[in-house]
Structure 1
Amino acid sequence: MKKLLLGLVLVCCYSYQLNAQENNTGKENFDHWSIDLGAGIYEIGAPLSDGYNADILFQASFGVRYMFNEKFGLRLGLGYNSFSETGTSLPFQSNLYRASIEGVVNLGNVLDFQNWTDRFNVLVHVGGGFSSLNVIEPTDNGGDLITHLSIGFTPQFKLSNRLSLFLDFAAFINYNRNYSA
């Protein structure tokens, strides 16, 4: 199962929709802004270094999304990941801080999900950004600046007009890394 989830992030989060916009007729159009807060687990999709292994690890995230229309928008995301040795691995402790900007497609509106459900939706997101890998043990590396690409999808379940529960499955592909975790 771990091999099937290579690089995927599983996050159980809440999304809070803000600032309902009105059109000229006074009817509610849609919420342009949303905020998401998340905490969950993730799995590293590639080996770290010889002798160093990590298993399922902790992550937290925060995002702000602005939708230009009901189908397309932009998301600014911040994240924190913490990982350390497991099993027979040599000891280590690392933290990863990331910032991303992503294009978002509301697949539910593109595919007219509202014809068969008013509670389920799916977002697709693609983008990139920067991360800082801070190795604490066995030696402090002072931070390693990394660029990354991200791609993912986010199924959502609407609890109310302003609150949704969602899972985020995302893969982060890192470039220009000088150190391992």
Structure 2
Amino acid sequence: MALTKAELFEQIRRDSWREGLSVRALARKYGVHRRLVREALTRAELAPRRTPQRRSAQLEPFKKVIDEWLRADLDAPRKQRHTSTRIHRRLVDEQGMGEVSYSAVRDYVARRKPEIWIEEGRGPAQVFIPQHHPPGREAEVDFGELWVRLAGVMTVCYLFAYRMSYSGKAVHKVW
């Protein structure tokens, strides 16, 4: 079973304190680099992972133009809006941008289009409201008529439906 980084750091600290092992001995024991052992011994908490901000230097001058086209698409009929392919083609034809790849344009448009819709107040609201149902407090009850064929004769019966909100269990009774 593989250890998480936090568990590994904890074991390295414990062995360093209990057994008095050196950095080199700890690295050999756990099969990690000495740099990692030193980090475990000096840091109280794990360092957060850094994710690099990727950007396309060739696409940078054209981002404002692409944003303008996407903003203009807000009022355009659905079939007339720009696709990534159409934007790339327009950039090559009108702006003289031959060195930027289609995938760079596609990735930018896929990320930027929903952002523009939200900025303009037309996108779906990013809202989540959790529901909290304490045990035994809330339930849903419903009554209704139910037609049943009994011995070949259509008979009206009454249905009682009860559903508990916390567990989702339901009880139904017909009479």
**Which TM-score band applies after superposition, normalised by the shorter structure?**
under 0.3
Question: RCO greater where, 1 or 2, for CA within 8 Å and sep 6 or more?
Answer: 1
Question: For the pair shown, which has the larger CA radius of gyration, 1 or 2?
Answer: 2
- Going by fraction, where is helix more abundant, 1 or 2? 2
